Structure 1
Amino acid sequence: MLIPDKIHKGAPSTVSFCLSSHELLGDEGKINFRQHWANGEPIVVRDCLEQTPGLSWEPMVMWRALCESTDCNIKAVDCLANCEFEVSARQFFKGYTDGRSYPNLWPEMLKLQDWPPSDTFENVLPRHCDDFISALPYQEYTDPRNGILNLGTMLPSTFLKPDLGPKTYIAYGVSMELGRGDSVTKLHCDMSDAVNILMHTSDVSLSKDQMSAIATLKRKHKAQDRRELHCQRVSDKELDHGSCVSAEGEGAALWDIFRREDVPKLEAYLRKHSKEFRNTFCCPVEQVFHPIHDQSFYLTLEHKKQLKEEYGVEPWSIVQKLGEAVFIPAGCPHQVRNLKSCTKVAVDFVSPENIKECLRLTEEFRRLPMVHKAREDKLEMILHGVSNAIKRLGELISKRERVS
């Protein structure tokens, strides 16, 4: 049964909803799922990998399935500089398990996004693609091929279909919140619903020398912030010890998911404090087109405390474990920070419950500047899905009237 639950011991105390994959098989679990989903609430489903064939999702194993040589280069994103660069596959995957650092011992956080590309994932790694789809909970909604409640599957073959995934995200992570260069997915809002499953993790520990170096550098960062931004809200204690979420056991990724109803207050906070955030090469955010769709902000623990104090807003905070699926409703802004090196796979879908929100977001995205990186037109898919759903509903009503 779906019940309120503090997601995991050691996690922030915000309440969300959890259930096991076994509970989804029963009628009660499905009813509860739909009730909370219709309310625009995120849902966590545990133990999703129990019924899968058990393929290895270790990134090096996946790479070898694609390429015989581990010496060829791949494009990775440096989270501190927020830019792409080339690194050998061997070096990247070694860092995934052992960690990497800059000469000053600051952790070097790298990530691969959408690798392999989602438009070729099914072709180049067909067994892994099937393994992931078999792990998806509630496949009526989430199956990207045949989900009967997934409006994204209803486009005719003559239509240009949007890229709904699966998409793979492979990234480093450490439990300490660094404040600069963290392995994060910045705050953003998807136009459709999404489900994200944690398929593999690797725990990377920081040495005592690194911890000492990080503390020293954090103090320098604080002094720089005070000079540049005249901001003194971060305490010396926080900077010395770092903000940590317990990553003991299997917890590997911290999700912060905001309610749709809180979006206006969240946007107001970000506009008010935009200069306090760091972006490319740790420079302040200079321009804000849209505080959420720009994907320029990650709210640290201190930012979240300030947001609650000033606006009374706090997110659902979830520490995702291996084999857990996180469902994110369309229209809920969210951000993610890796507490360990993680391999996650996600698919987008369009559920009947959230079609109204998808349409609202589509119009919102269309109002962004033409050159905006977040602008993407899924309107054709959504409108066709609505039309198809209305047509099917009419057929069912007519059939029922004839029977009665």
Structure 2
Amino acid sequence: METDSNANTPRSDASIQPTALLSLDTNGFINATENSTSDSSINNNNKRLLDSSASSEQVLIKRRNKLLEPTIVTQQNYCLSYPNNISRCIDCQTASPNDFAMHLTGCRFQHCRTLKYFGDNTYEFEGFTTSIDWQAPDPETLTTPNSSGQPPLNILDANFIFKHIARLFCLMFQHEQSERSTYDDKSIIRKKYMAGWREVCDECLTTLFNCHYMCKQCGYMICIDCSKQLVYLSVEQKRKSKRFCPHNDSFCLAEFIPWDHLLKLRSSVIDHLSKLKIDYSIKLYNSSRAENLSTFIKTLKMKRSHEARDIQKVWSSIDSNNDPNIEFYCNGRLPVFNEWTSENANHVFQKVWSTGCPVLVRQVHHKLSKTLWLPSAFKEHMIDHRETPALYDCETLSPIATDESILTKFWDGFERLNVRLRDEENGGRQRILKLKDWPTKKDFASVFPTLLHDLMNNIPFSDYTRRSYTYENVEYHGGPMNIVERLPSCLVKPDLGPKLYIAYSQLGSQAQKKAGTTNLHIDVSDAVNVLVYVGIGGYGDDGSDNEDEIRQVEAEILQSNIDEPQLQRLRNGERPGALWHLFRSDDAKKIREYVGRAHRKAAGSDTIHDQTAYLEKEDLDKLRDWSKVESYPMLQFLGDAVFIPSGAPHQVKNLHSCIKIAEDF
């Protein structure tokens, strides 16, 4: 019989089992180790282990702390993939965790925020990536020439485009360089450019070029110009701001494109400008820090004011090289092209368009396939299409719930007044309906491939206006001057259309509030609007009793300050569809001020971008007399294409029911 030296408990030899020693592994955890050594060696081993430290608990803590030294990682997923202690960006705050696809490219902090990783899905905020520690590759196509795959430009077109955009690029570079000068590279957030995602300023919704400010708590982004305006807001103004970000002191400068890439690009641009003997020395104008407008915006405005003399030019036959196919409306201010394929027509268009002057092109409908653009064709296609278009009431500016029945009645009433929808909640008035921006969610090429092909083959000045598309397995390239087609392939190109705009005559409106078919507004892109069909509304089963609407239209035209050449077209039997009023982009400020006073707009609203104002004849007369602002009153007849420069305020009133197709470029 043996005796246990520790407990003095007798036991038989048969009961002896291997003894488990307690030991600490390298990770600080207690492990059991089988051992068949003698009791005395067990005792000695444990004694040595305990004597090697003040206590086993201290050893355990030390080993565990060694394990928990964090690893610095870059946030690869959307914020919702991380524990709740990691702050969410504004996109992730408002989205469902199940909305996986959107967040893979939509999260503000993805690929630019760094986290401390402790293992076992435990994270803490660490910081943000900078150009110094940046390792992720950028899309190669971001800086690769002609990654869009368009045909090479000839040297004349290339130099023409280059001289117009290169100086602007140098100005933008200087603008951003000035902003960066107060920071070092270690403090500027370097964000990965996400292919297929458009980054915009959350204040003004303008696409961001490169440098901008980002809130480190929620990812709210503002452009440099908006940041200048926000700096000088009072506490009360900031409190009343509609911004979604309350963290006024958490903004940090951020950029998408490595600055050394832009330095190299600017050097190449300057070299080529020098070879072309084009002055690139652009000085930023000094401006008081109390002003809301940034230095950059002020520079552009002063530059535009200097060039405004060309925009106000009264054109003559000398400017058209005495071309009999080019005439001028609006007392010589509006160039009108009766033909657009000749070399001289393209030369004159390029000259007048570069000044920011609107242009009218006649007789486009004669080139189109007539049967494709009839109301019956659109009615059949839209009713069969899965995406039901949204209809709007022109008088209330509100959408109308649309189904197949409502859409059928809309088309049945296109030229038949007695079957039009009525607003039973407001005395049964006849609704003035419009269908705009259609297709709203899909590319026109996928919904109307044949119409697009017909339009692109016949659209005026196609070097500027033609877009790329595929038709019957044949790829067609965009026009050489349509520079959106030459954006890097990784960028999200804006949806420039074309889009359909279909609406009734506005002359039958019974509303007290002034409203147009399209109220006063501004587009950020150049655009062309083609009137492809004009329908005269009448009574009777077939709408043939239409004399009343014709008389109304003639009366409206005669009191709208339309000049003689346009009135002659009416007398010659051409069918007018819409009345346009366009303004120079430089007059936008004066127009805003007038609308704000005359229409009593609320402070803080944009009197043009709100699209709630329509200027009637008395408004236009007051603008001319008080502010020296004169519009381009223009009749759009069947087949006319109106070219609208970007930034030019304009409004439209349908005289008859119209089908128009518009494309930005």
TM-score (norm 1): 0.67
1:161-200 to structure 2, matched below 5 A, reads 161-175=493-507, 180=513, 182-200=515-533
- The residue identity in structure 2 corresponding to 1:149 is M
Which string of whole-angstrom CA distances, capped at 9 and with x for unpartnered residues, describes residues 113-163 of structure 1? 122236332112211111122221011100121111011111233221111
Shift of 1:68: 4.0
Which string of whole-angstrom CA distances, capped at 9 and with x for unpartnered residues, describes residues 68-100 of structure 1? 499x97531011221111242210101211133
Q: Which moved more, 1:187-196 or 1:248-257?
A: 248-257
Are 2:444 and 1:121 aligned?
yes
> Per the alignment, do residues 293 and 241 of structure 1 end up closer, same or farther by CA in structure 2, a change over 3 Å counting?
closer
Which string of whole-angstrom CA distances, capped at 9 and with x for unpartnered residues, describes residues 212-258 of structure 1? xxxxxxxxxxxxxxxxxxxxxxxxxxxx9997126774111111100
Correspondence for 2:464:
141
Shift of 1:205: 4.5
- The residue identity in structure 1 corresponding to 2:348 is N
Correspondence for 1:313:
629
SS in structure 1 opposite 2:391?
strand
Are 2:415 and 1:90 aligned?
no
CA RMSD, Structure 1 to Structure 2 (Å): 3.2
Work out the CA distance in 2 between the residues paired with 1:56 and 1:242: 29
Correspondence for 2:491:
159
- The residue identity in structure 1 corresponding to 2:592 is E
Work out the CA distance in 2 between the residues paired with 1:14 and 1:266: 23
Work out the CA distance in 1 between the residues paired with 2:596 and 2:495: 31
Shift of 1:174: 4.3
Are 2:650 and 1:334 aligned?
yes
Out of 279, 287, 291, the position equivalent to 2:607 is 291
Work out the CA distance in 2 between the residues paired with 1:326 and 1:28: 19
1:4-83 to structure 2, matched below 5 A, reads 4-6=327-329, 15-20=333-338, 22=339, 24-68=340-384, 74-83=389-398
Correspondence for 1:303:
619
SS in structure 1 opposite 2:635?
strand
Contact 2:537 2:656 in 1 (8 A): yes
SS in structure 1 opposite 2:390?
strand
Are 2:556 and 1:244 aligned?
yes
Are 2:586 and 1:261 aligned?
yes
> Per the alignment, do residues 115 and 309 of structure 1 end up closer, same or farther by CA in structure 2, a change over 3 Å counting?
same
Work out the CA distance in 2 between the residues paired with 1:14 and 1:310: 23
SS in structure 1 opposite 2:364?
coil
Work out the CA distance in 2 between the residues paired with 1:166 and 1:26: 25
Correspondence for 2:66:
none
Correspondence for 1:394:
none
Work out the CA distance in 1 between the residues paired with 2:385 and 2:521: 36
Contact 2:459 2:466 in 1 (8 A): yes
Are 2:597 and 1:272 aligned?
yes
SS in structure 2 opposite 1:41?
coil
Shift of 1:166: 0.6
SS in structure 1 opposite 2:590?
helix
- The residue identity in structure 2 corresponding to 1:93 is W
Contact 1:174 1:204 in 2 (8 A): no
Aligned residues between the structures? 302
Correspondence for 1:392:
none
Which string of whole-angstrom CA distances, capped at 9 and with x for unpartnered residues, describes residues 350-397 of structure 1? xxxxxxxxxxxxxxxxxxxxxxxxxxxxxxxxxxxxxxxxxxxxxxxx
- The residue identity in structure 2 corresponding to 1:191 is V
Work out the CA distance in 2 between the residues paired with 1:201 and 1:138: 23
Work out the CA distance in 2 between the residues paired with 1:292 and 1:268: 10
Contact 1:196 1:345 in 2 (8 A): yes
Shift of 1:287: 5.2
Correspondence for 1:215:
none
Shift of 1:16: 1.6
Contact 2:581 2:632 in 1 (8 A): yes
SS in structure 2 opposite 1:114?
strand
- The residue identity in structure 2 corresponding to 1:342 is C
- The residue identity in structure 2 corresponding to 1:138 is F
Contact 1:262 1:313 in 2 (8 A): yes
Shift of 1:198: 0.5
Work out the CA distance in 2 between the residues paired with 1:107 and 1:51: 35
- The residue identity in structure 1 corresponding to 2:651 is Q
SS in structure 2 opposite 1:309?
helix
Correspondence for 1:376:
none
> Per the alignment, do residues 14 and 269 of structure 1 end up closer, same or farther by CA in structure 2, a change over 3 Å counting?
farther
Q: Which has the larger radius of gyration?
A: 2
Work out the CA distance in 1 between the residues paired with 2:606 and 2:582: 18
> Per the alignment, do residues 328 and 69 of structure 1 end up closer, same or farther by CA in structure 2, a change over 3 Å counting?
closer
> Per the alignment, do residues 261 and 73 of structure 1 end up closer, same or farther by CA in structure 2, a change over 3 Å counting?
closer
Task: Calculate percent identity across the aligned residue pairs.
Answer: 31
Shift of 1:173: 0.8
Work out the CA distance in 2 between the residues paired with 1:81 and 1:287: 22
- The residue identity in structure 1 corresponding to 2:624 is K
Correspondence for 2:190:
none
Work out the CA distance in 1 between the residues paired with 2:607 and 2:555: 24
SS in structure 1 opposite 2:446?
helix
Work out the CA distance in 2 between the residues paired with 1:5 and 1:202: 27
Contiguous gaps of at least 5 residues in structure 2? 1-322, 469-477, 541-551, 559-569
Contact 1:81 1:181 in 2 (8 A): no
Shift of 1:325: 0.6
Work out the CA distance in 2 between the residues paired with 1:243 and 1:297: 22
Work out the CA distance in 2 between the residues paired with 1:157 and 1:15: 39
Work out the CA distance in 2 between the residues paired with 1:176 and 1:314: 27
- The residue identity in structure 2 corresponding to 1:36 is V
- The residue identity in structure 1 corresponding to 2:583 is F
